Amino acid sequence: DIVMTQSPDSLAVSLGEKATINCKSSQSVLYSSNNENFLAWYQQKAGQPPKLLIYWASTRESGVPDRFTGSGSGTDFTLTISSLQAEDVAIYYCQQYYSVPRTFGQGTKVEIK
Amino acid sequence: QVQLLQSGPGLVKPSQTLSLTCAISGDSVSRSSAAWNWIRQSPSRGLEWLGRTYYGSQWYYDYAESVKSRITIKPDTAKNQFSLQLTSVTPEDTAVYYCVRDSPRKGSDFWGQGTLVTVSS
């Protein structure tokens, strides 16, 4: 199984400041046939299911604000929120969909400082 | 827009079978480019993928090793839904269960509303 490890477990950022979340996979999720990384980011707010933010490591899902940016390749990935808003308070998860079983990181809780 | 609507009991006794159903609107359970998954979430295990079914000239099934001996996921083409059965449950199976559409391009792009299932006598 591919193990996904996120860091940090939690972070507190001032409104308007940048938040950075890291995700590392235990093996590469880069699919050589199309040169895409099968890595997604999700946002989960209290009492709701996770919501897809980013797929293929860096493609924003329709309707997701452009302050959310995904980057990275192979085994190391980053989700950046460029200017934190109050509505961004949530837990963020990375997931690999390169192989089964699908696996998720443990989550990073983002709060307002 | 795809919508997944879950139904099923929120309380199951130990050793009994957990059964949930996920009704699909806006897509088809037998569309070949999608997979239909069950994922659960608990404080102790985080987000845990349980299994999936998908159609590609025949029905295919993949299950997590941790539940492989106890789980069945079944598509129902007549009702455009799929179901989860988990047998011999214990309190460790207490979790919020989600049905999820998985696309090859985007990963888990649509989620059901979630069902809290508590295993208790």
pLDDT in tens, A27-43: 999 999 999 999 999 99
Contacts A49 to B, Cβ<8 Å: 98, 111-114
Count Cα atoms within 13 angstroms, Cβ side, for B60.
11
**Cis before B75 (ω within 30):** no
pLDDT at A1: 96
**Looking at chain A from residue 3 to 42, which residues have their Cβ under 8 Å from any Cβ of chain B?**
38, 40, 42
Query: How far is the first Cα of chain A from the last one, in angstroms, to the nearest whole number?
Result: 36
Q: How far is CA B80 from CA B2, B28, B30, B47, B98, in A?
A: 12, 6, 8, 26, 17
Per-position pLDDT tens, chain B of length 121: 999 999 999 999 999 999 999 999 999 999 988 999 999 999 999 999 999 999 999 999 999 999 999 999 999 999 999 999 999 999 999 999 999 999 989 999 999 999 999 999 9
Q: How many CB atoms lie within 10 A of CB A44?
A: 18
43-62 in chain A: CB under 8 A from chain B: 49-52, 55-56, 61
3-state secondary structure of A88: helix
**Predicted pLDDT of residue B82:** 98
Q: Tell me the two tokens of residue A17.
A: 């400041």
- Picking from A44, A51, A88, A42, the residue whose alpha carbon sits closest to that of residue A67 is A88
Supply the Cα-derived Rg of chain A in whole angstroms.
Answer: 13
CA atoms lying within 13 Å on the CB side of residue A75: 7
Q: Do A104 and B62 touch (CB under 8 A)?
A: no
Residue B120 touches chain A, beta carbons under 8 Å: no
Closest A-chain CA to B48: A103
What stretch of H or E contains B107? strand B107-111
* Smallest Cα distance from B106 to chain A, Å: 5
pLDDT bucket at A26, cuts 50 / 70 / 90: very high
Q: Nearest-CA neighbor of A106 among A2, A14, A3, A36?
A: A3
